[in-house]
Amino acid sequence: MTCKAIYLIGFSLCLSAQNASALTLCGKLAQGELISGHETNAHTIKLGTKEYQATPDGNFILAFGRDEKAAQKLTITYKDGTKKSWDIKVAPTQWDIQNIKGVPPKKVNPPASAQKAIQKERTDLGKALSAQSTTPLWKNGFIRPLEGGRISGTFGGQRIMNGQKMNSHQGLDIATPMKTPIKASADGIVTLNEGPYFYSGTMVVLDHGQNLSTIYAHLDSVAVKQGQHVHKGDIIAYSGKSGRATGPHLHWGASLNGVRFNPQSLLRFDINKNCANL
Ligand SMILES: [Zn+2]
């Protein structure tokens, strides 16, 4: 029953019934995945310690990190200030182990002289990933940023570089020849086009609205300007091997509200598919 239908009976009934509508979640509830949801009159959505904003029509996106806990509470705060919670289960994902040899030693154990550059890289990326544009440019889905290429490193893999245990991989690596055109995976706004940075080399970040960003790293050159609006499929850069790379490839990353997730889930992302009412 919609609020409009019962509005005829009385305004107070309309208010109490507006929060009784079903919560819809679309996508795979699993570690490393991006999902979408809808709940009429939702204002903010809290998952774990993170808070997400809904669009005025009640649509939202949520991301599950690599090490997301299995049992989660999802709480919606409605436009009238009332709240409702659901217990949800996040399925585990099996992450692989990636053995990488031949990395320049100073890129595995950076010298003290590199610390300033590493700090600048973190600051610049953090700033770009905190873009707060509200237009949901993510709504029409995503494409792979380049044609062909071999997947040389999956998201979430435990990395061992030159025999040394490192942090897990935060993106998807696609091996591709130098200067391959790299496309915007969705409509977006350029929030970073700088480099070469110590780890990521030359990098572009696109903001797709509501704090969802995609990252394109180890580039040879960029073809866009800071603040530029791009459309899905536009060429934004050319692939390279800048930063910490053993060969030419694209590192494609994805971030929502500070949560890094698997960019491959963007290719499965569809606000109308695999939906369930809770
Ligand atoms: Zn990578």
d(CA 270, ligand 1 centre) in Å: 25
Q: What pLDDT is attached to residue 21?
A: 64
Looking at residue 55, the DSSP 8-state letter turns out to be P
d(CA 216, ligand 1 centre) in Å: 9
Q: Give the Cα separation of 108 and 114 in Å (integer).
A: 12
The CATH 2.70.70.10 portion of the chain extends over: 97-267
Which overall architecture, per CATH, does domain 97-267 show?
A: Distorted Sandwich (2.70)
The CATH 2.60.40.10 portion of the chain extends over: 3-93
With tokens 């544009």, the residue in question is 133
d(CA 250, ligand 1 centre) in Å: 7
Q: Which helix H or strand E contains 62, and what residues bound it? A: strand 59-63
Note whether 146 and 223 are within 8 A (CB): no
Q: What pLDDT is attached to residue 117?
A: 94
Q: What is the pLDDT along the chain (278 residues), one digit of tens a residue?
A: 333 333 333 333 334 444 456 899 999 999 999 999 999 999 999 998 899 999 999 999 999 999 999 999 999 999 999 999 999 999 999 999 988 888 889 888 898 888 999 999 999 999 999 987 889 999 989 999 998 999 999 999 998 899 988 889 999 999 999 999 999 999 999 999 999 999 999 999 999 999 999 999 999 999 999 999 999 999 999 999 999 999 999 999 999 999 999 999 999 999 999 999 99
Q: Position 158: which residue type? A: Q
Q: What pLDDT is attached to residue 4?
A: 38
d(CA 210, ligand 1 centre) in Å: 24
Beta strands in 227-274 (DSSP E): 229-230, 235-239, 249-256, 259-261
Question: From its phi and psi, is residue 231 left (phi > 0), alpha (psi between -120 and 50) or beta?
Answer: beta
Q: What pLDDT is attached to residue 183?
A: 98
d(CA 275, ligand 1 centre) in Å: 31
**Nearest CA-CA partner of 214 in 176, 240, 175, 183:** 183
d(CA 152, ligand 1 centre) in Å: 9
d(CA 244, ligand 1 centre) in Å: 9
d(CA 249, ligand 1 centre) in Å: 8
Could you tell me which residues come within 8 angstroms of residue 93 by beta carbon, excluding any fewer than 6 positions away?
A: 30, 31, 32, 33, 66, 156, 262
Query: Looking at domain 3-93, which of 3.40.640.10, 3.40.50.300, 2.60.40.10, 1.20.1640.10 is its CATH number?
Result: 2.60.40.10
Is the whole-model pTM more than 0.85? yes
Residue 209 has φ and ψ, to the nearest 5°, of: 95, 150
* Burial class of 166 by CB neighbour count within 10 A (0 to 12, 13 to 18, 19+): middle
d(CA 153, ligand 1 centre) in Å: 6
Q: What pLDDT is attached to residue 131?
A: 83
